[in-house]
Structure 1
Amino acid sequence: MTVLGNLWSFVWAVLTHVWALLTVFPFLGFPLAYLIVHAWKRDRRLAGRWAVNITNFLFIRAVVAAYGVIWPDALSAWWWVIVFFLVTVGLLSWLQVKWKRKLSLRKAGFSAWRLSFPLFGLVYVVLFAMGIVKTMSVV
């Protein structure tokens, strides 16, 4: 192999290990994303928003992975995530029309995304604990 091939192999291995670490511990993505965006843009508010969005994506990924490990024969958790977002956007849109008499799907989608952050954080903690209990009960 060439030096460039070895370097590419090393970089790929590091990225896969970082991705695996962030799947198991998604909350580590918050400070990592915050520091990278803050160093890049020099804006604390923008770095905070990016960190929350990236951590939310990591929470969703971790919940899907934990669900698949705990219940391997069940329906894919991605379907539950999609249904959650569709129902949440639908309810928020209905509330917008009822209260303000106009609809903004962008605001409803953004609100659903922000509401999913604490929800998926909580679901991650619950599934993580359930995975530990299930693993301990097997042993």
Structure 2
Amino acid sequence: MAILASIWSYFWAVLTALPIVGFVLVYAIAFFVKKNHHDALTWSITISNVLLIRAVAAAYGVIWPNAMSVWLWIVLLFLGIALLIGWMQIKVRGKISLSKIGFSTWRITFVLFGLAYIMLFSTGIWKSMQFV
């Protein structure tokens, strides 16, 4: 049982450190099940966003261990994007669609967390190279 728990923790560690592995893995599984590239891509983006959030939170905690909690910044980012999209919907259409706000917020944060992951990953490598 300890071996299985160890394998499971290494699997989650790899997915947290390298969320692209999760993206490829989910895409392959979803394409095998659904036989549709669009559905497989949608599923992999959705799951990879969760993995990217975990990776950004972990990298932020390693680079700045004494800083304010990253989860506060993540919640504020989600709320800010949702409010901005809602405001734009009111200006353009005159009404709000919560499902479109949620979907758009999730997709925009996928791109933002992907960029933040690349930036924090390279910053972490640069910061660790200074100690060598």
* Same fold (TM > 0.5): yes
1:85 to 74, 78, 81: 78
1:129 to 88, 97, 122: 122
User: For residues 30-49 of structure 1, what are the structure 2 equivalents within 5 Å?
Assistant: 30-49=23-42
SS in 2 for 1:93: helix
User: For residues 54-73 of structure 1, what are the structure 2 equivalents within 5 Å?
Assistant: 54-73=47-66
- Greater relative contact order (CA < 8 Å, ≥ 6 in sequence): 2
Matched, 1:109 2:109: no
Return the offset for 1:13.
1.7
Q: Distance in 2 between matches of 1:47 and 1:15?
A: 24
What is aligned with 2:92? 99
Unaligned runs of 5+ in 1: 1-7
Identity %: 45
Q: What is the aligned-residue RMSD (CA, Å)?
A: 1.1
Unaligned runs of 5+ in 2: none
What is aligned with 2:6? 13
Counting matched residue pairs gives 132
Q: Distance in 2 between matches of 1:25 and 1:128?
A: 10
Matched, 1:51 2:20: no
What is aligned with 1:74? 67
Moved more, 95-104 or 43-52: 43-52
Q: Distance in 2 between matches of 1:63 and 1:88?
A: 18
Q: Distance in 1 between matches of 2:3 and 2:36?
A: 32
Matched, 1:120 2:113: yes
Q: Distance in 1 between matches of 2:33 and 2:102?
A: 27
